[in-house]
Amino acid sequence: MCFMTVLFFASLSVTMVNFFQNMWFGLVISLAVWFVFNTKVKEYLPTVLNIFAYKITPEINGGITPYFFNRALYMVVGIVMLIMNYLLVKRSPMRKVKEGKK
């Protein structure tokens, strides 16, 4: 389940960097989203939007398991952001400079 969290936050930061053409925006926005999910604010979010939501399951002797629906949601959002990155890089003005086009 850790893969989906990493996929989401990695694609979020890279998407913000490519969208704003500034590395600091990607860092700050990713940290802000992470901070929201790890503070009291997460209690006001629906469970499906909380990427760090877990539940105690009595069938595995009180083990902790993640909610799978929100993991799937963030996996889809992460994949969509990766596709957006491809499109953002294609239209980037820096790409044309590197290829020698004006």
Q: What is the mean pLDDT of residues 62-69?
A: 64
Residue 53 has a pLDDT of: 64
Q: What is the model's pTM?
A: 0.71
Residue 63 · residue 57 · CB < 8 Å: yes
Residue 31 has a pLDDT of: 92
Residue 83 has a pLDDT of: 92
Count other C-beta atoms under 10 Å from residue 95's C-beta.
Answer: 12
The number of distinct structural domains making up the chain is: 1
Residue 3 · residue 70 · CB < 8 Å: no
Q: Which residues constitute the domain of residue 78?
A: 2-98
β-pairing, 54-57 vs 63-66, is antiparallel
Q: Which amino acid is at 10?
A: A
pLDDT digit string (tens) for 21-45?
888 988 999 999 888 888 878 778 7
Collapsed DSSP state (helix, strand, coil) of residue 62: coil
pLDDT digit string (tens) for 42-58?
778 777 777 776 655 55
